[in-house]
Structure 1
Amino acid sequence: MNKLVSWVEEIKDKNASTAAALIVMKDNEVVLEHYSGKHSNTEDARQVDQQSRFNVASARKSYLGLAVAYAIYEGKITSLDDYARNYFDDIDHELLGATTIRHLVTHSHGLDENLEGNLIREFEPGESWAYRGINIVMMTKLIHNLYEKNFPQLLKERVFEPLGFTKTWWEVSDSPELVSVIVDPADKGETALGMREDGLEKNLFVNTREFAEWGKLFLNRGKMNGKQIVPEAVMELATTIQSPPYADKELPQNGLFWFVQDEPRERSELGSRVPRGSYQILGVTGPTLLVIPEYNVVVAKMYNKRYNYGGENYLYYLKEFSNLVADSFCVK
């Protein structure tokens, strides 16, 4: 596993990230824990350690996905194939058309916002795949409406508190534990805080240990310390392929926002050597949470630099890391 640490450190330097962390779990035990760098690029910045909490950006979608899975399991959403227009009275039903909940949670909805903030259609639902933010806003608001509480609060009551999570939250005020986000390496890092704690903003901060424990919860199908914290069926909904059938076979496959491996695909973010049934979530600031059930492995990786290394070839590096993890545990 030294190769994993070397890879993490190499990309950290190449991408001008000031902080990195890596935890590898095998058979529910931590077998590697690595921290390096500082919270920002200022001289007095705090050293990264177990308490350091990283902004996980789009990896927060895995948390929203679990809330959506609860809503389906509990019948608040009757089916993934329900039309979105049945749930969103404030959005033009003609524009929504045949868009379903399934399309919204698998990035196959075809909706986007223009510069004026108006909803537009890029392609017909289910015909392609595009990573946009409007579906996240829509599903966040829907969960709030269905439960009369926001999804972070829902998860706090049902998951975070039972698991003893104290380092996972949507932050609106700064603290020494929070790692800054580097946008321009020549400038001081940004706090990446939000104005609200309801899940609508990209202000989820998590320390690496709880990020790994989040993955462990999924690996164990909702059971922790001998207790079923989340119904197994809820976990199954979130992490099995829910994407509609695509004409383009190179498009990624998703569960409820998770990227799920079935077979190697050109536009997937999982490497070709990662076993079928594995799943992964990523963020633009560098976090990766990879779960490989076949090997009973969870890997949590953190950075604090906005935008992935590699430019237009960034998918290669995302796949390379997951392939290195798979190679570390594959018995040949």
Structure 2
Amino acid sequence: MNKTFKKDAFKNLTRYIEKVRRDTKASGSTVVIMKDNKIVHEWYSGEHHFEQGAKKINYDSRFNVYSVRVTYVGLAIAIAINEGILNLDDRLSDYIKEYNKETLGETTIRHLLTRCTGLKFKNGNVYRTFNLGTDIEGKKPEILAEILYKVTGKTVNDILSKRVFNPLNWTNTGWVTEGDNNLVCDIDLSKSYPILRLGSNIGDERNLYVSARELAYWGNLHLNKGVLEGRSILPQEIFELTTSVQSPNSLPHQLPKFGFLWWVKDGDVSVSYNELGSELPDGSYQILGASGCSCTVIPEYNAVAVRMSNSLNAYENLGFDYIKDIQMFGNLVISSFKNS
């Protein structure tokens, strides 16, 4: 524990996370807090699953982070843009020619990254569901990964392994293709058994497993704009792209704003639409996954907060409110800093 923090500075935060673990029937949870580039608090609770002989959650435990993975896709795209291979305002029709050009229209990579294309891709076809840049939608990382591969000949995993994971010696981050003792199972409340989600290592599927520490380092890499221990891993401009608002001006002001798939705190956004807590300062950015895993970066405090969990379908089965929960998490992080 950093000596500048009281011993119980994060007591209310960890109590809350433990309550959420029990309320959502997760088998394990983790919190890691970084401040001024140091881990100042970490807490581990539970086991990898509920079956007999389950491993206890520890610093090596890797959770499936689900939608958190889209920020990894976003960084790979930002690298390509910084190197002049792609342009943020390139039209999708220039790259994915197998889809109807008229339906794609003026949709750009910017619209994909900021979740306002109004397009639905299904069974090899594309359909328009709302006017371009007027609403927000689900994430489409697989389309971004497809475009990236077409222009570079490299997968998301290829690019990030070479440029980030290997240089930083991150051994607990990666798209999982086979089982491992450090993998935390998902507790899917619609099933009676724990599951692991395996897939390809391309980098476009929902099988990215990360330890809490390395997810905190991921946030801290963005916070420091690519600099780690005085060494620049990637150009600063890449992180300025990914973590500042890139949503088009046509998006209604009350809707959430995005960088490269990061939710960015913007003062105009209606709180009912926002995953970021009301106490988080403007300019904070965050990503949340379906299992409850999240990474929150708070530049004003020079801090990163990570929460890991492994419960799926808690809303459908228990009525659990993920939005209120993640807002509360951010607010408790801020109150922990203020009260310390």
TM range (shorter): over 0.9
Residue 185 (structure 2) aligns with: 180
Q: CA separation in 1, counterparts of 2:255 and 2:197?
A: 31
Q: Say yes or no: does 1:29 pair with 2:38.
A: yes
Q: Select 2:308's aligned residue among 280, 299, 302.
A: 302
Match of residue 68 from structure 1: 77
- Structure 2 contact 189–313 (Cα < 8 Å) conserved: no
Report what 1:91 is aligned to. Answer: 99
Alpha-carbon displacement from aligned partner over 1:16-60 (angstroms, at most 9, x marks no partner): 100101100111111111001111111221111111100000100
Distance 1:21 1:185, change over 3 A: farther
Gaps of 5+ in 1: none
The answer to whether the aligner puts 1:157 opposite 2:139 as a matched pair is: no
Q: TM-score, normalised by structure 1?
A: 0.94
- Preserved contact between residue 173 and residue 211 of structure 2 (Cα < 8 Å): yes
CA distance in 1, matches of 2:339, 2:299: 14
Aligned-pair distance for 1:184?
2.0
2:246 aligned to 238, 242, 248, which one?
A: 242
**TM-score (norm. length: structure 2):** 0.92
Q: Does the Cα contact within 8 Å between 1:180 and 1:191 map onto a contact in 2?
A: yes
Q: Which runs of 5+ in 2 are unaligned?
A: 1-9
Instruction: State the Cα distance separating 1:317 from its structure 2 match.
Output: 1.5
Q: Which of structure 1's runs of 4+ aligned residues deviate more than 3 A? A: 307-313
User: C-alpha displacement at 1:249, in angstroms?
Assistant: 2.5
3-state SS, counterpart of residue 163 of structure 1: coil
The CA distance in 2 between the partners of 1:315 and 1:290, in whole Å, is: 14
Residue 247 of structure 1 and its aligned partner are, at CA, apart by 5.3
> In structure 2, do the counterparts of structure 1 residues 156 and 186 end up closer, same or farther at CA, with 3 Å as the change threshold?
closer
Identity %: 38
- Determine which of 315, 325, 331 is the counterpart of 2:323: 315
What is the count of residue pairs matched by the alignment? 327
Indicate the residue corresponding to 1:12 in structure 2: 21
Q: Give the RMSD, CA atoms, in angstroms.
A: 1.7
- Which of 49, 60, 65 matches 2:58? 49
Q: Return the offset for 1:313.
A: 3.9
- Within a 5 Å distance, the mapping from 1:182-331 to structure 2 comes to 182-184=187-189, 187-194=192-199, 196-246=200-250, 248-263=252-267, 264-265=269-270, 266-307=272-313, 311=319, 313-330=321-338
User: Counterparts of 2:285 and 2:338 in 1: how far apart (Å)?
Assistant: 16
* Alignment check: 8 A CA contact 2:99 2:124 kept: no
CA distance in 2, matches of 1:291, 1:16: 27
Deviation, structure 1 residue 117 = 5.9
Residue type of the alignment partner of 1:292: I
Please say if residues 16 and 185 of structure 1, whose CA atoms lie closer than 8 Å, have aligned partners that are also in contact: no
